[in-house]
Amino acid sequence: MVQNLKDTLRNVRGRWVKTSCLFLWLSAVGWLLFTFTRTIKLQEFQNLPNTVEYTIELKKYQSIAHFPRGVLSLPGPRELLHLKDFKFYNSKLNVCKSKNSLVLALVHTAPNHFVHRKIIRSTWGSVHHFRNLTFNVAFLLGQTNRRLQSRINQEMKQHCDIIQGSFVDSYRNLSYKHMMGYKWAMEFCPNAIMIFKVDDDVYVDSFQILNFLYSTFGLKPFNILACSVISSGTLTHRSGKWGVSRSEFSFDMYPEYCSGMGYFVSLDIVKDILAASRYAPFFWIDDIFVTGLVAEVLNLNRLPINAHTSDRPEEMTKWLRQGKGPSPYMLGLISPHNGMEILAALWNKTTIRANNYTGNLYIKNNPKYLC
């Protein structure tokens, strides 16, 4: 019996030794595999591009020309950027005939946007005078086909508020349209104290705007470029509606610029931008070209008014349905779906709220006044 016990203990000891040896062997193999794998991964990681350095290596826009303001001459009467035979088709409008300080709204619109222009004239463009400021609206167009042009000619005769230039109206010519508005203002509206550039798909609270301009800048604004500022470093789109090729814009990031939804610029800066536009590389996206590339040539500062604007259509719809006070924004992008109906509804609510805090102290535009 004692011998059996000894044999049993010997067997147990042998199995324990074998198990320990197996454990030690597996541990050694595992350690070797871990070390080998870690070495391979470290080598692979070292071969990867440094992501921080890659970000830094993105090409930022840098203007190759800089000029002090007021030293550059304006382009000739037939010059517009690279165009040497530019002309206005109807330059003599009455929108600038005012004895009071004038804020001129230049609305970027498309030839077939007849409804947009009609709604604007009857809503935010109908305010003519408020807070010691006169407010008039003009629409900017390029050339179009004969069918649309025939209707536009009738519209011109009826409203006398359309500025049309000798270039094809298209996305790729947006910068021509933008600078055409500047050129027209300098040549035919020198009494304007402020230019308000705005797109035709934007809600505008005319009362808030005129109150803001009057209370902030007074009747003699100078050196003003106030806008919703898009910070520098925005990546360049290479595809889609606003996609640009390397040949069009070789840089990977845009400079700081103004949202084209709507911004305000004093006439002294209009003059300088118009003069400097020939010294910046042409770029067809007008907001970036005018308030970004050309503004960089002049080292202009942009006054941010981001808190007063909204590029989210749902925020305007929310105020329309639920808001109780004045509009939280003086500029707001509206939805492309039923946008003009929404704009009309927004304006109806705006006038109701405005009458509560202005006492109806504003003058509506007389359609016959402009013609």
Evaluate whether 133 touches 101 at the Cβ level (below 8 Å).
yes
Task: Map residue 251 onto helix, strand or coil.
Answer: coil
Neighbouring C-beta atoms of residue 248, cutoff 10 Å: 15
Domain boundaries, the chain: 101-369
Evaluate whether 142 touches 112 at the Cβ level (below 8 Å).
no
Neighbouring C-beta atoms of residue 144, cutoff 10 Å: 18
End-to-end Cα, the chain, rounded Å:
129
Task: Map residue 359 onto helix, strand or coil.
Answer: coil
Backbone angles phi, psi at 91, to 5 degrees: -95, -30
What is the β-pairing status of strands 331-333 and 101-108? unpaired
The pLDDT score that the predictor gives to residue 57 is 59
Evaluate whether 101 touches 132 at the Cβ level (below 8 Å).
yes
The pLDDT score that the predictor gives to residue 70 is 84
∠ Cα 109 216 74 (to 5°): 55
pTM, entire model = 0.82
Q: Kindly state the DSSP code that residue 223 receives in the 8-state scheme.
A: S
Which residues are 235's β-sheet partners? Answer: 253
The pLDDT score that the predictor gives to residue 224 is 97
Q: Kindly state the DSSP code that residue 203 receives in the 8-state scheme.
A: E
d(CA 360, CA 129): 11
The pLDDT score that the predictor gives to residue 11 is 55
**H-only helix segments in the chain:** 2-47, 51-56, 114-122, 146-159, 174-188, 206-217, 267-276, 286-288, 295-297, 313-322, 339-358
Q: What is the pLDDT along the chain (371 residues), one digit of tens a residue?
A: 545 444 554 554 555 555 555 555 556 655 555 554 444 433 433 343 333 333 345 777 777 778 888 888 899 999 999 899 999 998 778 888 887 899 999 999 999 999 999 999 999 999 998 888 999 999 999 999 999 999 999 999 999 999 999 999 999 999 999 999 999 999 999 899 999 999 999 999 999 999 999 999 999 999 999 999 999 988 988 888 888 999 988 889 999 999 999 999 999 999 999 999 988 889 999 999 999 999 999 999 999 999 999 999 999 999 999 988 889 999 999 988 888 999 999 999 999 877 665 544 566 766 555 66
What is the β-pairing status of strands 303-304 and 127-130? unpaired
d(CA 84, CA 351): 45
Residues 101-369, CATH architecture: Alpha-Beta Complex (3.90)
d(CA 261, CA 203): 10
With residue 324 as reference, give the H or E element that holds it: none
AA identity, residue 46: Q
d(CA 254, CA 236): 6
Residue 299: both structure tokens together: 């080292």
∠ Cα 223 228 234 (to 5°): 110
CA dist list (Å): 317 to 115, 116, 128, 342, 355: 20, 18, 26, 8, 21
d(CA 273, CA 275): 5
With residue 323 as reference, give the H or E element that holds it: none
